[in-house]
Each structure stands twice: as C-alpha cells, then as structure tokens.
Structure 1
Amino acid sequence: MSRIDALIAELCPEGVEFKLLGSCAAYSDTRVDASDLDGKNFIGVDNLLQNAAGKVDASYLPNTARLTAYEAGDILLGNIRPYLKKIWLANNKGGCSGDVLAIRISDAHRLMPEFLYRVLASDVFFAYNMQHAKGAKMPRGSKEAILKYRIPVPPLEIQREIVKVLDTFTELEAELEAELEARRRQYKYYRDALLAFSDQDIRWAAMAEVGEFFRGRRFTKADYVEDGVPCIHYGDIYTQYGTATEMTVSHVRADMASSLRFAQPGDLIIAGVGETVEDVGKAVAWLGHDEVAIHDDCFAFRHSLNPRFASYYFQSTVFHAEKNKFVARAKVKRLSAESLAKLTIPVPSPGEQARIVAILDKFDALVNDISIGLPAEIAARRRQYAYYRDRLLTFKEAA
C-alpha cells in the first residue's frame, strides 16, 4: 500500500483523471460463426461466474448462426438479470451470446485490461449497472449507460501496482480453494465408503418399507413474506441448505396455512425436480421443532431412520447411481414418489447410524461450515479482498 501511495503522490498529486468508459473502450462489433466455437470458447451467460470468479466451460453450444466475437483481454460482462454481476477477463478468443457484452479497450496506452476488469467487478459499478437496467420481466443492463460510467484512469504504473496487489489476494484465495476442494474429495471418499457397507452384512430395504412419501402443495415467490409460515421451496434445497436444517430462509403468508402441506420434524425433504439428473433427489433433513410447509415439487419422506443418516445417504454415490435409473429425462428432470419408494436404503442399527452421522458431521463442518476452518478463512479473504479492492480503486478526482 505504501508503494501505491508513494506513486500517487509522485505521479498524480493533484488527483486522478476520470473518463467515460466509452472514451477508452467500446463493445466488440465483429462476428464469429457458431460452427467455429466449442465448449471452451463459446461464452453464454450461464457459464460466466459471479464476482470475478472466472468461467466454466460451456456444457452446450450456441443455437444461433453468428455471434459476437471476443479476444483475449476483452472483458465479458453478463447483461441480463440476475447475471449482471458475472464478469470474466478473457484469456482466449471466441464468441459470446447476446446476453454477454464484450468490452474492448481502445486506448491501451492509458488503460490496462486487468485494471478495468477490477473496476467493472466492483460493487460500485454493479450498483450503477443495476440502477440503469431496463425491462420488467428480465431487465438488461443499459449499453448506453455502461459506456457513460465514469472510471478512474491513473497512470499505468499505478494501475500495474494495484493489479499486482489484488492478484496476490486472488492467488491466496485460489490456493485455499484448491485445498478445500481436496478436502471435499476426501470427504466424499469417506462418506461413500461408510455408506456402501461393502464389508458389513446389514439389511437393505426399499424406501417404502421404512417410510412413506408425501407431496407438498404449490406456492409461488409472490406468496413470500418476511414473517409467516416457514416453508421450503425445492430450489432452496439446492442453494440454501446442507445436510440438515432447523430453520427456513423463506416464509409464506399465514392465511395460506390451510391450503399447504407440511413436513414434520425428522422428515427428509426431497427435491423432486431439477435442471440436471444429478440435482434431482437432493434432500435436507428437517430438524426444526415445528412442522414446515413444503412446495409441490418436494416430497416429505416420513421414516424410521436417523434423519441425518438418511440425508447423508441421499448424497452418496451409490444412492445417485440407483436414483439416476428412475429420473424422467425431459427438459426438467423429475422423480416421482413411486420411483423414490422403489429405491433401496441401508438399515444398520440405530447405534451404527449415530456413529456414522457423528463421523460425517465432523467432515461436513470442516468443508461446509463458513464459521470454522477453510470455509471461514476463504470468506475472510474475500472480505479482505473486497475491502482493499474498494480502497485501491477509490481516488481523489483531479480538478
């Protein structure tokens, strides 16, 4: 930091010049044939990641003939909500969909792509972009307003030093993420080994033998309120919950109570639909003190097992291998209660179930609990990065 402060004092003591983005960058106006693209160089908005996390290779190819071309050094920005915070600094050349903007620097003598990338990944720009987004159902960022965004343009030496500092934070986070991923693989290995029971002679039963399934009743996002009937939507099972929960993140109107269907404490709540075969069947054990309303694309499994044991089994490779045979593979993947009832589940003694749960709870906390261990350290590093990024990108403006 002292190095950057010294450079600012030396090179721009009266402040930093601010310029309209459109005066030093423009949108790509070249086109590329979709036939020349593959999963590695086609960028749809779905395979950009949030918060400058990069991208993943596309699992699909474009369905239009010609797309906008991008080059290495271009900044690709998601341009439809809820993807306005998705951004990537391209390291190859390819093509992007209409929901992605390719921003290319036109004044390389004054602006570094790596520096502009940090500016456009900031919360300040995101708030500006959200403010100017247009449209009702699926708002889009305003291309005109984006080019009118005022960006700081300090001397290149200062830009390089800021990028260097922020890269250090990013590299440290990447190392922690890699270590966490290794822990998760280890956790998955031991979880699958414990739940396969390959070296034990235990009873395996159809799920219909140890419990029964109840389907939820429909409610929509329009029914959500701050304080009402606790509820679990199938989408929340993917995004909000782990193995078990005692509280919900969502509530629906109290006057709907008579039309809802509820899971009881100890029930396993199972997502009956998903975008992929792997997603369908994700489950969370409901350990709250009272009943909870469930969506009609969820099933409550009322059973005689340890709830956390049943939930862990639903995460195992052996469960997914059997479950996948029963998934209806339409555009939206589905599992029926009849199919779930046919799946088998191990039924060890209550003591053995409790022993396995105790072991897996420790592993689960180490890789998923954001209050301890590596997840907590990664969260702290992200907060630290955001703090220094915002501080480093805040300049006194030259008169």
Structure 2
Amino acid sequence: KEKAIAGGNMFLLTHNQNPKYLSYALSTHHAKLQKQKYAKEGAIVSISTNGLKKIKIPLPPLEIQKQISETLDVLRELVRELVRELETELKLRKKQYRYYLNKLISDVIEKGWGEYRTLGEIIETQKGFSFDNKKYSKTGLPIIKVLNVQNGQINTNELVFFNPEDYQRDLNKFILRKGEVCITTDGASSGKIAINNHDSNFYISASVCKLNAKKEIIPKYLYYSLLSKEKEIHKLIQGTAVMHLYPEDLKKLKIPLPPLEIQEQIANVLDRLRELCEDLEKEMPKEIELSKQRYKYYKELLIIGKR
C-alpha cells in the first residue's frame, strides 16, 4: 500500500472498524447534519477533534460492515460505469455526425449533384450594429455578441438587452430571425458559425455578421456547408493581437451547391444526426443525477436503515 501525508486540515482516525464502512457512514446525510451541528463558524468553517468525536453513526458487526461496504462499492461503480457509457455514446454520435456532415457536402461534387460556387454569389453579408455597452440593460430587445455563438448555436445564457428608444434609427437589418445564419468576425473566437433555432429574434452586435441566403441556397444547407469548411474559414482570419474575419474574404470561399431539393434532403439528414447528439447531451445530466440519487438512497438505507 502507498503511504500518504495528511495536511493540516485533515484528521487521521485510529480505529478497529472497516475503513470503507466508516468512510461511507461519515458521508451519509445523517452524519453531515451532525458535522454542521458541531462545526465552528468563521472565515473557514471547520470541525474540531472533540466535535468529530460527538458524531454518532450506526456500527454493526465487522462482517455486516464489510457486506455493506462491498454493496456500496458496486453501486458506486455502477454510477461511474453509466457516466463512462454515456460519454462514449456521445463521442460516437458526434463522430458519426461529423463524418456525415463532411461526406454529404463533399458528395455534392463527387456524385455530380452540383458545382462549386463562391459565397459572394449566393449570399449577402450584413455586419452587426455597434451598440453602446453603457446602454445595455437587463430587459428589452436581445443582442447577440461573440460569446453567444457557441457550438453552432445561439446560447442565450448571457444575453444583454437594449432599449430601442435609445437609438433613433431603424435597426431592422440587424435582426437575426429564426433559421438565419451568422458568423463571428472579431476577436479570438472569429469564424464561429451559428444558426438561430430559437423562436425569438435577436439583434447582432458589431462583432457578428449575418449571412443572408439568396434564392439559390437554403439557410440550413448554408449553415452545414460552412460547418464543413471550418478549417478553411479559419485560414481567412487575419491579425495577431486582434483577430478579424473580413466579410469580403469570406465571400471568396467556395462551397458545393446542389439543387434546392438536394440541399433540403442533406439538411434534413444532418438535422436528425445533430438532434441525436443534442438530445443525449440534454439527457446525460439527468441520467447521471438520477443514478447518483439512487446510490445515495441505498447508502442511507443500508447504513441508517431509513427510507
């Protein structure tokens, strides 16, 4: 067995009980309530040796302690195994999605479904508006900044808002509507792409550029095409201290363009694969938390004996 050194904020317990059982017993809710009761308040909450000695735990015979510990070891390992399985499944789904993203877009040329077109031929770009950050508010109309463009989506967790009465001009051209595509153009996160899958509209800031699809291309296909070209887009970024992606450079990028019907089919397949990834990502925390709660329930039941 390896030796370890205990720090100043730790206790070494000398005992003749099953060490794993003691560890489990002292981590029950019942024991935690007692720790809180005997803890000393201060800059750092702590418990003294005398306080620790007052904590009462059920103490069955050593053989029973061993059985309980082994059962809880198995239950705890089941939680870890579930986490590993879910993480592996998510990686596989993302890998599958990325494979078909690249394959379906490249098939347009390889299978003769279409031809290369520059973005400048099939989209119009609209740089965002320079909102005054001193006029940001907690209510009003939502603004998208670089930090809101994450993982191909619009993240609404850190939105800022503005009051339209603070700006005496028409801001409609800066609206990102549902189904429309945008890309970040300034800073270290330049070149990130997102599509608005929300039911609400957003206003784009100066560091975000809206990509307005012309009649030759549907926005969803544009979105997936750009995701498949992320490496090429990154090469277009200029600057050292401050990075920039200039819309005029982006317009020179070429993407495969099939007929609208095939664009729709490709987008639908990729939508489904992306949704499978997103669904699992949303469910993972719930599944893991449920498994942890089951483990805690049985720990309390086996040690304290109460449901």
Normalising by the residue count of structure 1, what TM-score does the alignment of the two structures yield?
A: 0.53
1:293 aligns with 203
1:327 aligns to what SS in structure 2? coil
Which one of 100, 107, 116 corresponds to residue 12 of structure 2? 107
Alignment of 1:330 with 2:235, yes or no, is no
Q: Deviations over 1:91-116 (max 9, x none)?
A: xxxxxxxxxxxxx855276887xx69
1:353 aligns to what SS in structure 2? helix
1:223 aligns with 136
Q: What is the 5 A alignment of 1:150-189? A: 162=72, 164-189=74-99
2:212 aligns with 302
1:384 aligns with 290
Contact 1:204 1:347 in 2 (8 A): yes
Displacement after TM superposition at 1:252 (Å): 0.4
2:122 aligns with 210
Q: What is the 5 A alignment of 1:113-262? A: 145=44, 162=72, 164-196=74-106, 197-201=108-112, 202-219=114-131, 220=133, 223-225=136-138, 227-238=139-150, 242=153, 250-254=159-163, 255-256=165-166, 258=168, 262=174
1:145 aligns to what SS in structure 2? coil
CA distance in 2, matches of 1:390, 1:267: 46
1:263 aligns with 175
1:171 aligns to what SS in structure 2? helix
Contact 1:327 1:334 in 2 (8 A): yes
CA distance in 2, matches of 1:175, 1:297: 39
CA distance in 2, matches of 1:108, 1:335: 61
Structure with the higher helix share, 1 or 2: 2
Displacement after TM superposition at 1:329 (Å): 5.5
Q: Which has the larger radius of gyration?
A: 2
Q: Deviations over 1:192-223 (max 9, x none)?
A: 00011341342222222212222213455982
Contact 1:187 1:364 in 2 (8 A): yes
Displacement after TM superposition at 1:375 (Å): 3.7
2:110 aligns to what SS in structure 1? coil
Q: What is the 5 A alignment of 1:308-319? A: 308-316=220-228, 319=229
Letter in 2 for 1:270: I
Unaligned runs of 5+ in 2: 37-41, 60-64
- The 3 A distance-change label for structure 1 pair 258 and 235 is farther
1:213 aligns to what SS in structure 2? strand
Q: Deviations over 1:357-388 (max 9, x none)?
A: 1111111111112xxxx445523312213534
CA distance in 2, matches of 1:386, 1:172: 10
- The 3 A distance-change label for structure 1 pair 193 and 262 is same
CA distance in 2, matches of 1:108, 1:160: 21
Letter in 2 for 1:230: P
Contact 1:231 1:248 in 2 (8 A): no
Number of aligned residue pairs: give it. 259
CA distance in 2, matches of 1:336, 1:160: 61
CA distance in 1, matches of 2:75, 2:166: 53
Displacement after TM superposition at 1:341 (Å): 2.0
CA distance in 2, matches of 1:378, 1:290: 27
CA distance in 2, matches of 1:350, 1:211: 15
2:129 aligns to what SS in structure 1? coil
Letter in 1 for 2:140: G
Q: What is the 5 A alignment of 1:267-282? A: 267-273=180-186, 275=188, 280-282=190-192
CA distance in 2, matches of 1:205, 1:167: 54
1:381 aligns to what SS in structure 2? helix
CA distance in 2, matches of 1:218, 1:161: 61
- Larger RCO (CA under 8 A, 6+ residues apart): 2
- The 3 A distance-change label for structure 1 pair 359 and 164 is same
Q: Deviations over 1:128-156 (max 9, x none)?
A: 9xxxxxxxxxxxxxx95265699989689
- The 3 A distance-change label for structure 1 pair 253 and 159 is farther
Alignment of 1:364 with 2:277, yes or no, is no
Contact 2:181 2:223 in 1 (8 A): yes
Percent identity of the aligned residues?
21
Displacement after TM superposition at 1:25 (Å): 6.1
CA distance in 2, matches of 1:280, 1:176: 31
Letter in 2 for 1:349: P
- The 3 A distance-change label for structure 1 pair 168 and 251 is same
CA distance in 1, matches of 2:242, 2:269: 35
Letter in 2 for 1:363: L
CA distance in 1, matches of 2:195, 2:240: 27
Cα RMSD after superposing both structures:
4.1
Contact 2:176 2:204 in 1 (8 A): no
2:141 aligns to what SS in structure 1? strand
